[in-house]
A and B are shown apart, each in its own frame.
Chain A
Amino acid sequence: MSDSKQLTAVQRADLRTVAAMIVPESLEYKVPGADDAVIQADMLATLGRDTALVAQALDHLAQLAGKPLAELDEAGRDAVALEFRKRGGAAAATLVRVVLQCYYRDDRVLRSLGLELRAPFPKGHVLPDGDWSLLDPVRARGGTLRGASR
């Protein structure tokens, strides 16, 4: 399977369904699910070198479900999810990671987590210096260096 392989329409539909199974929309936290159109578009646009493994994971899911995932009832989907995560190996792990890495960089999600909507560079962050008197007990205990000549 080549990296440039595109997902089929069926695979894309299952990706949407499984993404919502992993991270559903939440009214309580005011965040979209990972099946949100913008997040899905991000996933498809940046699949890149993960395409082959994600396609493999989606095929595995389809095989377990026997039909489009969306058509299974909740209990059926839970059973498929359990089996998929248990036996899906590197492909399943890649699919889950792709979902999470796109979800947790979405503006709405970061805002809800109280995180800034930016790359770390160039602004960086500021750290409190902290209370260095915490080291006093360590200084007081002292110690020797084994095998030192002086």
Chain B
Amino acid sequence: MKNDPVDVLIIGAGASGAAIAWSLADTKMHILCLDQGGWMNPAEYPSTGRDWEAKFYGEWSSSPNVRKRPEDYPINDDNSPIKVVNFNAVGGSTVMYTAHWPRLHPSDFKVKTLDGVADDWPIDYDALTPFFEENDRMMGVSGLSGDPLSPLSHPPMPQQPLGLSGPLIGKAMNELGWHWWPSDTTVATTDYEGRARCINLGHCTPACAQGAKASTDITYWPHAIRAGVELKTHCRVREILTNEQGMASGVVYYDKDGVEQFQPAEVVIIACNGVGTPRLLLNSVSGRFPNGLANSSGLVGKNLMFHPYAQVYGYVKEPTDSNRAPPTCLWSKEFYDTDLSRGFVRGYGIQFGRGAGPVFEAVASEQKGILPWGKDHHRVFRKLNGHRLAMSAICEDLPEEHNRVTLDPVLKDSHGIPAPKIDYTISANSRKMMDHGLARGREILEAAGATDICINDPIPWGGWHLLGTARMGTDPARSVVNEWGRSHDVKNLFIVDGSIFVTSGGVNPTSTIQALALYIADQMKQRLANLFD
């Protein structure tokens, strides 16, 4: 079936798709967004029921391979020690995310210049500054301005309380003389633009029933829709088609009834994340683009960067916040910058964790072998439960072409579309960085008085940051999109999600992903008259 043409077609209604849809709305162009997922109903989120923790192991798992909602597509990640996690709905993975909200640092945009590795970005931090600020207002960020080791931000809401866990971590870091600071988070600490403030349900991941956590279904989308953007749900895009001029002509998708449709468009914007985007481009083969769309560089799907998480946790005598608070509240940038005496280049941010709920604690501790079966179970459980403190080193992965997303030759989604396959190994540099983080984590937890120290090396289901698989650059032979997100090969095709990252930095990426999407929207608006030149 053929639909009326639209000016702009956005594929993906997650973090970046929502931001660019809202920003482009003031052009008054006809903008349509398609997402394979639907609108979520917060009344059905896990924290509304007594079985809230159990749901995380099944229908609310962060892994699409476990969750298996009809909206999900399978991912073959057998050949990766880090498994991909995501969410497919209006809001995308922000429905699931933990709301930790650092930005890339200025130095992250020039790693070649500063450290002689990987590549510099074609843009710098300053180009993104106004968009970071705009995005923080739109998402609603809480935090404390003035961190001496982080880029200056102006969160519109005050930081989260330290709670019980925060002071334990703060004191330990002070004893070691190391930097720490309350994290910027997208958790509303006051009522904010129709969103109710956080009431410490402690279940931001998988989803916030209170609406205090900024997922884009409750932040950008209501504004974008009011401004005239059209959003069609349960529409899974199979491929992007091109015309004789080598321009994108539209997309083929399956609608909510499984009927194949063609949607013509003047401009196509992909926002399907660092795995979904290369999958779509590689599935869009034609005589003109036999290796996949926008892939003359051969780099589509390559240079996948995850941020391996090296996690250390332990148990203190004092009670911690466990599940009675948002899981993250503090960060540290003590080991963020390159110091070659550590044996590796680049660095990592630290994200501290406040604790866990009783079921999670029991299941994880039994698996680690610290919670026994039998008579002693009860005594040990009472020592562990409600006493956990955690830290994770978010290690900067450097781009390496052998870490990649390809199409699985066998695995397909429910519409018969080839599924993505991940091949990924932790590099020698990341490995050394993780070891450093694990050693420092142990020191921090010991300074806090923790015992029974355990590690996750890496967090196996920690593939939440999906970056680098359609990188930005000025050289068409070494990048997929240019410095304002337009494909080098197809002049009306744009990419705005995490796949355009050149390097990954050592922090959670979503603030930067959205700032980039707003920046690209702004660049497009400035060039509307000659967008395809």
Given A119-B49, A124-B210, A147 contacting B199 (CB threshold 8 A): no
Interface residue A148 (Cβ < 8 Å from any Cβ of B): yes
A119 touches which one: B52, B114, B151 (CB < 8 A)?
A: B52
Docked-complex contact B163 and A130, CB < 8 angstroms = yes
B51: which A residues are within 8 A, CB to CB? Answer: 46, 101, 105
Q: How many residues of B contact A (CB 8 A)?
A: 69
Measured CB to CB, the closest approach of chain B to A123, in angstroms, equals 7
Interface residue B244 (Cβ < 8 Å from any Cβ of A): no
Docked-complex contact B373 and A22, CB < 8 angstroms = yes
Docked-complex contact B105 and A146, CB < 8 angstroms = yes
Given A119-B52, A124-B200, A128-B163, A101 contacting B375 (CB threshold 8 A): no
Measured CB to CB, the closest approach of chain A to B202, in angstroms, equals 6
Docked-complex contact A138 and B148, CB < 8 angstroms = yes
Docked-complex contact B105 and A105, CB < 8 angstroms = no
Q: How many residues of A contact B (CB 8 A)?
A: 55
Docked-complex contact B107 and A147, CB < 8 angstroms = yes
Roughly how many angstroms separate A93 CA and B364 CA in the complex, as a whole number? 10
Roughly how many angstroms separate A134 CA and B359 CA in the complex, as a whole number? 32
Identify the stretch in B53-61, B447-455, B525-533 within 8 Å (CB) of chain A at 4 or more residues: B53-61
Roughly how many angstroms separate A149 CA and B324 CA in the complex, as a whole number? 41
Docked-complex contact B179 and A126, CB < 8 angstroms = no
Residue among A23, A121, A129, A149 with the highest chain B CB neighbour number at 10 A: A121
Identify the stretch in A4-12, A24-32, A54-62, A63-71 within 8 Å (CB) of chain B at 4 or more residues: A24-32
Roughly how many angstroms separate A118 CA and B456 CA in the complex, as a whole number? 31
Given A24-B377, A141-B179, A149-B106, A135 contacting B170 (CB threshold 8 A): yes
Measured CB to CB, the closest approach of chain B to A85, in angstroms, equals 8
B48 touches which one: A102, A119, A126, A128 (CB < 8 A)?
A: A119
Given A96-B366, A134-B167, A129 contacting B161 (CB threshold 8 A): yes
Given A46-B51, A101-B53, A120-B202, A129 contacting B148 (CB threshold 8 A): no
Interface residue B325 (Cβ < 8 Å from any Cβ of A): yes
Docked-complex contact A120 and B179, CB < 8 angstroms = no
A22: which B residues are within 8 A, CB to CB? Answer: 366, 373-374, 377
A129: which B residues are within 8 A, CB to CB? Answer: 161-162
A146: which B residues are within 8 A, CB to CB? Answer: 105-107, 114, 337
Residues of B whose CB lies within 8 Å of any CB of A are 45, 47-54, 57-59, 105-107, 109-110, 114, 124-126, 146, 148-151, 160-164, 166-167, 170-171, 173-174, 177, 179-182, 198-203, 209-210, 321, 323-325, 337, 358-359, 362-363, 366-367, 373-375, 377-378, 382, 385-386
Residues of A whose CB lies within 8 Å of any CB of B are 21-24, 26, 28-29, 31, 46, 48-50, 81, 85, 93, 96-97, 100-105, 110, 113, 115, 118-132, 134-135, 137-139, 141-149
Give the 3 A-B residue pairs with the shortest CB-CB distance, closest first: A130-B162, A124-B199, A147-B107
| Apart from A125-B201, A147-B105, 13 more pairs, CB < 8 Å | A29-B382, A96-B366, A97-B57, A100-B366, A113-B385, A120-B201, A121-B48, A124-B200, A127-B161, A127-B324, A130-B161, A131-B167, A134-B170
